[in-house]
Structure 1
Amino acid sequence: MSYHPEQPGSRPMPPNYSQASGSQQPYASQGQQYSQPQTHSGQPGSGGQSGYGSQRAYGAQPGYSAQPGYGMPQMHNPAMFDSRSLPEQAYGPGSEQFWMAHEPDRTTAMWTHLGSLIFGFMPLIMFLVKKDESPFVREHSRQGLNAMITNTIVTFGAFIVFGFVGFILALVTFGIGFVVMYAAFIVPLVYCIFYIIAAVAANKGEGYNFPLTIDFVK
């Protein structure tokens, strides 16, 4: 057994525990890790999801009224209303579920059509006044305005045609054939019926598409 004397000025070193116990971190750094609160949002693998309180509420989802076929699309600005995008279920019986019009709008649309029987320009006034306030009133007044323009043009043309025919027949029949000219009044009478039907539909909250009418105003 050999003896190795220590060199002068040297002293024994403490055991190397770091090599024997592995690559352990000091207790101070471990305490920092355990002291950090672990939440659901900070766990690995959770994808950084926020807590249940930050999930979007069901009330923030768009309502069924914004889906096509279930109701009137929600519009923040009624002035952006475009009648050309309306579906077929916006007119006729059962369309009140599409419009969901309030009672004041129904009354206004009804008197728009009834006023056309007394004041022919009533749809024009209501269209200019209400077109940016209520889509329901706008569509009814637009339909009534197009019917008014079409009625005026067709009635004027009918008086010219039947007046000419009546004048020719009057020459042959010694004035009796002149009564044919009154056949031109059939045109405004037909549109009067359309106005009444439209007023009834407006009172029910339904949309009405005037027949025999040209869409001059979109």
Structure 2
Amino acid sequence: MSYHPEQPGSRPMPPNYSQASGPQQHYAPQSQQYSQPQTHSGQTNYEGQPGYGSQRAYGAQPNYGGQPGYGAQPGYGMPQMHNPAMFDSRSLPEQAYGPGSEQFWMAHEPDRTTALWTHLGSLIFGFMPLIMFLVKKDESPFVREHSRQGLNAMITNTIVTFGALFVFGFVGFILALVTFGIGIIVMYAALIVPLVYCVFYIIAAVAANKGEGYKFPLTINFVK
């Protein structure tokens, strides 16, 4: 080891420990070993735990916010097709009538045939809608609605026809006295009413054959 004498007036230099401590490299890994447990003091494992920190299972609760199973409830808004005894025609929407309503009813072939002959039978036997309504009202909603519409048309047709016969009969009788019997032709104008409803029955029969609902015009809704 060489000796260097200190110069006068110069400051003493600190000893060089880097060379002396150079071989002690086995202490460096120990510093890493001691630095790793310090992560527990910062609690990084607890802050990143999704089960306790974010609590998505309890905080968000998506099943209770939307509640799609209880909000829509399509089974109560539409008629009870699977339970005809609970069928209520007053809850029927406008989509239940007219072209395209076969998707609403989804009527089977026997129900279509029964509703078809209900309207055609009304042309010959006027009480056919009443009979079919009493027999099928608790079995088929499609037949029930068609027979109900036909029954209301039958009642309205009967009332209006008798009223027209009374009015036109009275007017025709007066005109017959004045015109020497020619005015009696006015009485036949009362037959226009049943002819108009016969056309309605035929249209309803065609709609029933297609599986569509039909709402009779110029008809009072007596039976609901």
TM-score for the superposition, normalised by structure 1: 0.68
Write the distance in 2 (CA, Å) between the matches of 1:25 and 1:144.
Answer: 104
What value does the CA root-mean-square deviation take over the aligned residues?
A: 11.5
> 1:134-182: per-residue Cα shift (whole Å, max 9, x none)?
0000000000000000000000000000000000100110000011000
CA contact (8 A) 2:107 2:211 kept: yes
Q: CA deviation at 1:77?
A: 2.4
Question: CA 1:172 to 1:77, structure 2 compared with 1: closer, same or farther past 3 Å?
Answer: same
CA contact (8 A) 1:41 1:48 kept: no
Question: CA 1:170 to 1:71, structure 2 compared with 1: closer, same or farther past 3 Å?
Answer: same
Question: CA 1:113 to 1:25, structure 2 compared with 1: closer, same or farther past 3 Å?
Answer: farther
Write the distance in 2 (CA, Å) between the matches of 1:65 and 1:121.
Answer: 44
Write the distance in 2 (CA, Å) between the matches of 1:24 and 1:126.
Answer: 107
CA contact (8 A) 1:112 1:141 kept: yes
Please identify, of 90-99 and 39-48, the stretch whose mean Cα deviation from structure 2 is larger: 39-48
Aligned residue for 2:130, secondary structure, equals helix
> 1:196-218: per-residue Cα shift (whole Å, max 9, x none)?
00000000000000000000000
CA contact (8 A) 1:70 1:97 kept: no
Aligned residue for 1:206, secondary structure, equals coil
> How much identity, in percent, do the aligned residues show?
91
Question: CA 1:21 to 1:77, structure 2 compared with 1: closer, same or farther past 3 Å?
Answer: farther
Question: CA 1:169 to 1:104, structure 2 compared with 1: closer, same or farther past 3 Å?
Answer: same
Q: Any residues of structure 2 matched to 1:10-159 within 5 Å, and which?
A: 73-159=79-165
Write the distance in 1 (CA, Å) between the matches of 2:59 and 2:116.
Answer: 35
TM-score for the superposition, normalised by structure 2: 0.66
Write the distance in 2 (CA, Å) between the matches of 1:23 and 1:145.
Answer: 111
Q: How many residues align?
A: 218
CA contact (8 A) 1:110 1:202 kept: yes
Write the distance in 1 (CA, Å) between the matches of 2:219 and 2:70.
Answer: 33
Write the distance in 2 (CA, Å) between the matches of 1:111 and 1:12.
Answer: 126
Q: CA deviation at 1:26?
A: 38
Question: CA 1:124 to 1:197, structure 2 compared with 1: closer, same or farther past 3 Å?
Answer: same
CA contact (8 A) 1:146 1:213 kept: yes
Question: CA 1:162 to 1:205, structure 2 compared with 1: closer, same or farther past 3 Å?
Answer: same
Please state which structure has a larger fraction of its residues in helix: 2
Q: Tell me, which stretches of 5 or more residues in structure 1 are unaligned?
A: none
Question: CA 1:157 to 1:62, structure 2 compared with 1: closer, same or farther past 3 Å?
Answer: farther
CA contact (8 A) 2:79 2:91 kept: no
Write the distance in 1 (CA, Å) between the matches of 2:24 and 2:130.
Answer: 87
Write the distance in 2 (CA, Å) between the matches of 1:135 and 1:179.
Answer: 44
Q: Tell me, which stretches of 5 or more residues in structure 2 are unaligned?
A: 61-66
CA contact (8 A) 1:106 1:203 kept: yes
Write the distance in 2 (CA, Å) between the matches of 1:28 and 1:132.
Answer: 90
Aligned residue for 1:53, secondary structure, equals coil
Bigger Rg, which one: 2
Write the distance in 2 (CA, Å) between the matches of 1:10 and 1:99.
Answer: 111
